[in-house]
């Protein structure tokens, strides 16, 4: 098991802040860092985060455009063709329904609206519907970012989404290439990479992340972190498996909160200037350490996920403000001084002395 001294950890952080690539030995050391010294890793990752994002936290709001009708066999997903989970089934939401959801997102302070449809990929009907929906959302909320996620893209579709006003396209790699066949067989890791490249070529901001807790090894975690750096993902959602009853992964083991923090730290070091978003499963796996994760990540989903409930958006907002962060896209209240971001090690040390 690789072990780094604290001086090596500081050098690792300096390398990351300068844009340098970690070695596999350094990456493995982060994942194996002793729990009783974990705050040292969080503090170093925080320095990287603060260099690129300061005190800002972006809030993102999910809309499940189409539910329970996917023909893919992704074993982690409650909407896959093999899932027995009792999820709601419906075709694409109308543009008016999505506008109602956009109203909720803006009212909650979200900077990005994420429109997700469970499908292999969009056909003409889905493209036309999304085109109309996005144009209406942008007409009402021109500053609201819109991210679409509709599966595998064909030639020309990414450009059409860009023309409609879509800002970003999400297609997660989910895991390493080696482990991919263990979680899905109806499409490949290469298929996902191809869609990311199509989105980038059309000028869409590439959003791609991973899910952890699916039986992957440390090498798989490191591989997907490095691959997302290679593909240049602007936004990286970090999901922790929600083992939904009725899915093939319903019995998978719980991740520990400290394991989740180490994964977040690794992704911050490997992708220093990219938006790292704490996504699905944070309430279940990070538990009482959710707030500490914000010292590493600069973005979260608020409200509910696709088919599972999340923490109340008001609680997320309060958590962000309680930590002394600022919500991206919102001005500080008149007369409110900007507070320096406290060092997590100092914060916890003070708390233990009280």
Q: What are 216-248's pLDDT values in tens digits?
A: 999 999 999 999 999 999 999 999 998 888 888
Annotated catalytic residue, options 112, 192, 268, 277 = 277
- Mean pLDDT check: name the lowest of 195-199, 308-312, 315-319, 349-353: 349-353
Tokens of 33: 């860092």
What letters, b where the CB count within 10 A reaches 16 and e where it falls short, cover 18-33? eeeebeeebbbbbbeb
260 annotated active-site: no
178 annotated active-site: no
Sign of torsion over alpha carbons 129, 131, 136, 141: positive
Half-sphere exposure of 315 (CA within 13 A, CB side): 9
Residue holding tokens 């090498």? 219
Per-residue pLDDT band for 78 (boundaries 50, 70, 90) equals confident
Of the candidate CATH numbers 3.40.50.970, 3.20.20.70, 3.40.50.2020, 3.30.40.230, the domain formed by 22-328+340-349 belongs to: 3.20.20.70
Per-residue pLDDT band for 330 (boundaries 50, 70, 90) equals low
Question: Phi and psi dihedrals of 170, rounded to 5?
Answer: -100, 130
10 annotated active-site: no
CB 237 within 8 A of CB 58: no
184 annotated active-site: no
Tokens of 263: 């994964």
Annotated catalytic residue, options 17, 28, 114, 282 = 114
Annotated catalytic residue, options 17, 28, 49, 70 = 70
| Residue-level pLDDT at 307 | 65
Per-residue pLDDT band for 93 (boundaries 50, 70, 90) equals very high
77 annotated active-site: yes
Helix (H) or strand (E) holding 49: helix 38-53
What are the sequence ranges of the domains in the chain? Answer: 22-328+340-349
Q: What are 57-73's pLDDT values in tens digits?
A: 999 999 999 988 899 99
């Amino acid at each position: 098991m690789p072990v780094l001294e604290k001086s090596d950890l500081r050098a690792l952080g300096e390398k990351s802040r300068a844009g340098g690539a970690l070695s596999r030995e350094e990456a493995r050391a982060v994942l194996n860092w002793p729990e009783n010294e974990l705050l040292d890793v969080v503090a170093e990752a925080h320095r990287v985060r603060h260099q690129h994002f300061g005190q800002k936290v972006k809030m993102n709001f999910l809309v499940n455009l189409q539910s329970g009708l996917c023909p893919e066999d992704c074993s982690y997903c409650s909407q896959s063709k093999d899932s027995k989970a009792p999820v709601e089934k419906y075709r694409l939401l109308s543009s008016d329904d999505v506008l109602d959801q956009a109203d909720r997102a803006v009212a909650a302070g979200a900077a990005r609206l994420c429109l997700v449809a469970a499908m292999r990929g969009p056909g003409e009907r889905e493209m036309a519907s999304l085109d109309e929906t996005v144009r209406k959302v942008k007409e009402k909320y021109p500053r609201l970012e819109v991210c679409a996620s509709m599966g595998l893209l064909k030639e020309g579709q990414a450009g059409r989404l860009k023309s409609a006003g879509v800002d970003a396209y999400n297609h997660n790699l989910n895991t390493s290439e080696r482990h991919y066949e263990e979680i899905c067989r109806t499409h490949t890791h290469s298929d996902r990479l191809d869609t990311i490249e199509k989105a980038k070529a059309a000028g869409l901001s590439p959003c791609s992340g991973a899910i952890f807790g699916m039986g992957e090894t440390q090498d798989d975690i490191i591989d997907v972190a490095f691959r997302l750096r290679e593909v240049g993902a602007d936004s990286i959602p970090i999901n922790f498996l929600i083992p939904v009853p009725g899915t093939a992964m319903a019995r998978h083991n719980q991740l520990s909160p400290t394991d989740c923090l180490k994964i977040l730290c690794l992704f911050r070091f490997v992708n220093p200037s990219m938006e790292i978003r704490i996504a699905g499963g944070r309430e279940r796996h990070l538990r009482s350490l959710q707030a500490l994760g914000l010292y590493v990540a600069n973005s979260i989903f608020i409200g509910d996920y696709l088919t599972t409930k999340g923490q109340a958006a008001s609680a997320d907002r309060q958590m962000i403000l309680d930590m002394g962060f600022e919500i991206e896209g919102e001005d500080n209240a008149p007369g409110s001084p900007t507070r320096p971001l406290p060092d997590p090690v100092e914060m916890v040390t003070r708390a233990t002395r009280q």
